[in-house]
Amino acid sequence: MRRVAPALLAYLAVRLAGLAVLALWAHRRHHGVWPVLALHWDADWYLGIADHGYAHELGTAYNANNLAFFPLYPYLVKAVAVLTPGSRASTGLGIAVLASLAAAWGVFAVGDRLHGHRTGVLLTVLWAALPVGLVQWMGYTESLFTAFAAWALYAVLIDRPLTAACLASLAGLTRPTGVAVAAAVAGWALLAVRRRPFDARLLAAAALAPLGWCGYVGWVGLRLGRWDGYFAVQRLWRNELDGGRETVRRIREMLASDPRPHLFLVMVTGTLIASAVLFALSVGDRQPLPLLVFTGVLLVIVLGSGGVYFPRARFLMPGFPLLMPLAVHLTRASRRYRALFLTAALLGSAYWGAHMALLWPGAP
């Protein structure tokens, strides 16, 4: 705890600053903060699942089938709400905040393990100060998923295959991109078997890591009576891989065609481009292969999707290893440069969080 305390305190400082800006801005616009954090958009879907369960049929309406949302978070909300006072919405928000602290600790642990204490702290601050960092304290699954992903990758780094596989399986029950964590852990385990052929833990880890994701996808297929049930649901949400054509089209539109793009979409476009650049830098820095597989698969899913464009910065939030080259660079920079950069990141995150919640008309 003494070692991680600076990272957690810095994380809380960034997120509380963002919350303060949101509260002040919302007050001036006569807008409530609580509904933004706990009740709207995806939070409403998760609360609906906690209250009423999943749909039994595929249907034909677009953006209407709740089987697109993975089950761990809503059922965790349902279970914990029985034991706690308040509404399920407050329970969901509380779980997200606690999960964000676990995620911040895991992000620090990975950075500390690879590059030392200062890099771990800076990596945590950078993750907290992402432009869409406000989502970490909303009734969404990003914080819980990042916690599972970070600690699964840390378990890989310290050679704990079964722990990594269990966490990867839980990540696979939390978000569709849990397949990226499963690929990282299972791939690492299978490669390690070549060096340690008699280690049964590695084979068990390779089998267990994708179990959560495959289990939910298979369950949806059984529920709907068709082998591609989950993918049919995703098609109704207009989420299909198209090789990146839609992404390229929207980026070209943002940069060249649209004379007055919405400021939030400009930020999303910048985040996608920056993420691709940071992945190239991560490859150049020779990050451990499991981290590269995780962020690589995550980028393929997000950039290769033909679905909605505006939430993609949020979809990339769990890809914290992408920030590692920047954190390492900041450790070598002058104290003045580091302070200026982190101050700008904090202020930018606070602004974008409030802008996203109060001015952008769609979901984060």
pLDDT score for 254: 87
Predicted confidence (pLDDT) at residue 290 exceeds the cutoff of 90? yes
CA–CA separation, 310 and 73 (whole Å): 23
Q: Is the model's pLDDT at 50 over the cut of 90?
A: yes
pLDDT band at 23 (very low <50, low <70, confident <90, very high): very high
Residue carrying structure tokens 């909605």: 308
- pLDDT exceeds 90 at position 1: no
pLDDT at position 257 is: 83
In this structure, what token pair is assigned to residue 205? 């880890």
Separation between Cα atoms, residue 209 and residue 197, nearest integer Å? 19
Residue 248 confidence (pLDDT) above 90: yes
Residue 326 CB coordination number (10 Å): 16
**pLDDT the model gives residue 86:** 87
Among 98-107, 137-146, 177-186, 258-267, whose mean pLDDT is lowest? 258-267
Q: Is 340 helix (H, G, I), strand (E, B) or coil?
A: helix
Q: Reply yes or no on whether the pLDDT at 198 is more than 90.
A: no
Is the pTM of the predicted complex or chain greater than 0.95?
yes
CA distance linking residue 205 with residue 355, whole number of Å: 42
Q: What's the chain's average pLDDT?
A: 96
